[in-house]
Amino acid sequence: MTEPRYRQLVEGLDAIIWEADPADLTCTFVNHRGLDLLGHDLAAWRRPGFLLDHVHRVDRPLLESALARALSGEPSRVRCRLRTTGGAWRTLVAAIERIDADSTCLRGVMIDVTELYLEEEALRQAEAGLLQADRLESVGRAAGVVAHDFNNVLAAILSLARLLERRSDDPAAVERFASGIGEAGERGIGIVRQLRQLGLRRRVATERIDVGHAVEQLYPLLARLAGDHVRLCLDIQRPLELVSIPPGDVDRILLNLVLNARDAMPEGGVITLEIRGVRGPGDLPEALPAGDWVVLAVSDVGRGIDATTRARMFEPFVTTKEAGTGAGLGLATVHALVTEARGHVLVSSTPGEGSVFRICLPAADSAELVAPTPPS
Amino acid sequence: MATPASPPSQPSRPRRVLFAEDDEWVREDSVASLVDMGFEVVAVNDGEEAEAAFRQARACGAPFDVAILDVRMPRRHGTELLPELLAEDHEILVLLSSGYERAHLDPVLFDSGRVGFVPKPAEPEQILAELRELEVAARGGAR
């Protein structure tokens, strides 16, 4: 290639190309396009510390560290904003390196990505707006479900008031209706409690629980709930580590998952409860941090979960069940309880073939080592 | 078309009501109120009982004029039972009752023109009003 073409390449490329003496960060060279892009003349570029004087103060540490890395022989990349003569900011992506191994001089090429960056930003904001809309939708759904549940409680109470009026001269009836009002009130309290449980962190002491034992204890109830058409298989690998969790939480997790598994198989089928101790890293399901875990897997051979539902199934008030049959709080509760126990819920599902929910709880001792309680 | 012997508040039609509701208090109250209004009421507390009562009444030659079905019930939901009732009995009118808004229900449920909606909670008078309205809409008020 001829020299004029080299010159044209360096001077005319849509990028800022520079060389600098690291001692005082004086730019010893800058191409024409570089001068045009920011508007500063050659004399300005030649002043010591030009780059650091014109970089956005937020980005300055990034640029400084990129320059230092380049100087130590490690080519570096950085995104930073530089000020134009007009006072505007251009967002640039810079690749900076030492000119050669023996030299202490630096060179860099900077590409103006301001417009791309703005597009990206606009996209991010649009996504944030969508998320907000999603949240509003959840709130709307929540309102619908809560309204339904409360309407039923209110219907009972209003009916009881009419019945009391109608039969006020019958002491036995009055007593029956009065206790009915009490029960309806309790149901209302239950709805509120369930809602609050989602929003508030409970202060419940944890205990060291043998998950296998908890599952065996609950098995008769689970089998009854699963119904006649569903077989409930139990597979517990011993010995198991203990987990640290509030008493009763394993039961609530199990109840919710087994009921969901049952409902996913209206024609019947098999639910398998499998409990394994898992020691990292070889045995760990993907996405699980290293450590010792107790994994409780609930599998069904039901209709599976489609991608849309999976994206938001842990949100409260999301339900695939017919209006009125489920409040959509089951998986939200499971997720909240498991997260509180510093565990993870892993889900795999094939529509038409079934789903597996893996509840991974840190083994009690390992949990204490891995994630100590932050000082309050 | 009211028979002369009837009190003025008693509707000529419908007279026989199937009332399906799983909440015992709502059921007891509504049944008492409907009876007061002159209806003949059979009350059941889930969807399967409702289906059985519906068939039995038809077999006895005394079919229901109206079914008031809770949308959500144990064993079978009112919305699941609805298509069968409409298909097997071309005269029956159905009121769906729910704590949800009518807008939450599938609009297809109302396509036959013989299905109405009553929100929960509802005053007995409101049930009666919804029934009358449904009656007028379904029969053009001609019967």
Within chain B, residue ranges assigned H as helices are 24-36, 47-59, 78-88, 124-139
CB contact under 8 A, B121 and A154: yes
Smallest CA–CA separation between A153 and chain B, in Å?
A: 9
ipTM of the modeled complex: 0.80
Are B23 and A159 a contacting pair at CB < 8 A?
yes
CA distance B106 to chain A (A): 10
Q: Using a CB-CB distance cutoff of 8 angstroms, which residues of chain B are in contact with residue A180?
A: 24-25
Token match 């006895």: residue?
B60
Residues of A in contact with B121 (CB under 8 A): 151, 154-155, 158-159
Inspect the interface and report whether the beta carbons of B25 and A163 lie closer than 8 Å: yes
In chain A, the N- to C-terminal Cα span, in Å, equals 68
pLDDT value of position A323: 43
Pairwise CB contact (< 8 Å): A144 & B105 = no
Of A350, A370, A354, the residue nearest A362 (C-alpha): A370
Tell me if A138 sits within 8 A of A316, measured CB to CB: yes
- pLDDT tens across the length of chain A (376 residues): 788 898 888 988 899 999 998 888 889 999 999 999 999 999 999 999 999 999 998 899 999 999 999 988 899 999 999 999 988 899 999 999 998 877 779 999 999 998 888 877 777 776 666 655 655 555 666 677 778 888 999 999 999 999 999 999 999 999 999 999 999 998 888 888 767 665 544 556 788 889 998 898 888 888 888 888 899 999 998 777 889 888 788 888 888 899 889 888 988 899 999 998 887 656 666 667 777 889 999 999 988 888 777 777 777 666 665 544 455 667 888 888 888 888 989 888 888 889 999 999 988 875 443 333 444 3
Residues in chain A within 8 Å Cβ distance of B30: 159
Contact A155 B124 (CB under 8 A): no
Partners of B105 on chain A (C-beta within 8 Å) are: 323
Taking contacts as CB-CB distances below 8 angstroms, the residues of chain B near A155 are 23, 26, 99, 120-122
CB of A37 closer than 8 Å to CB of A112: yes
Write down the pLDDT at residue A334: 87
Least CB–CB distance from B32: residue in A147, A166, A177: A166
SS3 of A214-279: HHHHHHHHHHHHHCCCEEEEEEECCCCCCEEECCCHHHHHHHHHHHHHHHCCCCCEEEEEEEEEEE
Q: Which residues of B touch A228 (CB under 8 A)?
A: none
A323 within 8 A of B104, measured Cβ to Cβ: yes
What is the least distance, in Å, from the CA of A144 to any CA of chain B?
A: 7
Q: What is the DSSP letter of A350?
A: E
The span from the CA of A200 to the CA of A194, in Å, is 10
Question: How much is the pLDDT for A133?
Answer: 60
Task: List the pLDDT tens digit at each of the 143 positions of chain B.
Answer: 444 444 444 445 558 999 999 999 999 999 999 999 999 999 999 999 999 999 999 998 889 999 999 998 888 889 989 999 999 999 999 999 998 888 878 888 998 889 999 999 988 899 999 998 998 888 764 44
The pair of structure tokens assigned to A119 is 């597009």
Amino acid at A337: L
Residue of B nearest to A154 (CA): B121
From the list A317, A356, A357, A319, the residue with the least C-alpha distance to A338 is A357
User: How far apart are the CA of A308 and the nearest CA of chain B, in angstroms?
Assistant: 20
pLDDT of residue A229: 87
